[in-house]
Amino acid sequence: MNKIKIIFLIVLGLSNFPLIAQSNSAISGVVKNQENDEPLPYASITLLNYAIGTISNEDGEFDFYIPKSKQNDTISISFIGFNTYLIPIRDINSPLEIKLNPATNLLDEVIVSRLSPLEYVKKALENLDQNYPRDPYQTIAYYREKFIENDAIIKREEAVFKTYYSKPADSIENQHQLLLYRPAENPQKIKFMRDWMDKKQAKETKKAIKRGEDVDEDFDLERDMNMGGPETIINLADLRNDTKGNFLNPKHFKKYEYSFGDETSLNGETLVTINFKAKRKIDYIKDQGKILISKESYAIALIEGSGVLSIPVAVKPILFIIGLSISNPTFNSTVSYQKFKGYWYPKLFRWDAKVNLTKRHAFSSNEHAKINIGQVFLINKLDSIATSIPENKRFNSDKEMENQVDNDLNIEWNELNIVKD
């Protein structure tokens, strides 16, 4: 049984029209660049006076669900490097096509600064306590994880979590409560190396019975895939713990090249772009990307990264023996923050990884699989007043999601903002 799990553990391990409802309204739209009509992916759509919002998808499309009690507010649509667009909710009577104008204060040349790019990064790290919340807070967030093989959905789970974030200085971990959960309809079985896996399972089951050992009859590869739930993606994006990116880790600074990009802006706040690029692999990862830092406060507003995950040399002979080849997986990630009451709070965490698999056969056609996995965590609602989640309601990533739903807030799916596929 363990051998069956190895292949996929390798893959997963390397990827570390207004519509009125009863209590809310839904506004749909698309966000584009005024100059070239291109969609703006992951644009921020929020209420002007409340920390409630969503983001556009890769095609600039969005659905924004607004509580009925907030119908007198104004929608703010923003994208880094563009002027913010404001529109009162009462003025919206059809699907929106928002075209944002590039900000006129952008620089066309490299920034001239008394600080070097790396010094900006160091300043950002030095000012974390001043720029990010020091007291507990809580959020309502949409969560999704996926495993797709050759465009077929193998596993896709959506959930809504209430999360309590403790003080950074405390040793208490973040606490989650699962409010809503829905799996994909009609998920598929993994086809790649299916015959090999089934034969292996039958053989090992037969051996176990012969030895008088217990047989894991409940084993289900697709069901038992576990990405760790929301805690994994939140930890990856936490600027104040040791799991943050290597490019923000002082012990790895010399292994990266840092350079200035253009100045840009978000909601009138000037941001400095710091590009980073790894000189060599670090723990099998070679990445690059950009960090957007407030010129005034040194707060990190956005991190975008991409890179390649290398297959460890020790693993390659094993793959060769079983006739399996794996392309080096590629990944991309986004971490963005929102400013609320003077502090920067999380807005969006997301990552995706892609890998191509090939199984060679001597007397039949080779097998191929394009695997796409990932997670997304989108903050719908933010509250600076927080209460700890009772222990009996806390989510446990080691247990099945469907058995942990405790919707004591009576939230419904049509009241939530999700990231559209």
* Pairwise CA distance, residues 9 & 136, whole Å: 35
Q: Which residues fall within 8 angstroms of residue 128, CB to CB, at 6 or more apart?
A: 239, 240
Q: How far is CA 374 from CA 204, 256, 418, in A?
A: 31, 26, 15
Cβ proximity of 119 and 111 under 8 Å: no
pLDDT at 3: 45
> 403: which DSSP letter?
G
Block residue for tokens 């099945």:
400
Helix, strand or coil, per DSSP, at residue 177: strand
Structure token pair of residue 84: 């913010």
303 has which bridge partners? 291, 335
- Residue 224: Cβ within 10 Å count: 13
pLDDT at 19: 29
pLDDT at 4: 46
pLDDT at 218: 56
The 53-55 sheet, strands edge to edge = 53-55, 44-47, 74-78, 85-88
Residues 205, 210, 211, 216: what is their CA dihedral angle, to the nearest 10 degrees?
Answer: 20
* Pairwise CA distance, residues 10 & 292, whole Å: 33
Q: How far is CA 180 from CA 143, 377, 404, in A?
A: 10, 14, 9
Q: Phi and psi for 203 in degrees, rounded to 5?
A: -65, -45
Q: Phi and psi for 368 in degrees, rounded to 5?
A: -135, 145
Is residue 273 classed exposed, middle or buried when 0-12, 13-18 and 19+ CB atoms within 10 A define those classes?
Answer: buried
* Pairwise CA distance, residues 270 & 361, whole Å: 57
The reported pTM is 0.79
pLDDT at 143: 95
pLDDT at 104: 62
User: Which portions of the chain are predicted below pLDDT 50?
Assistant: 1-23, 106-110
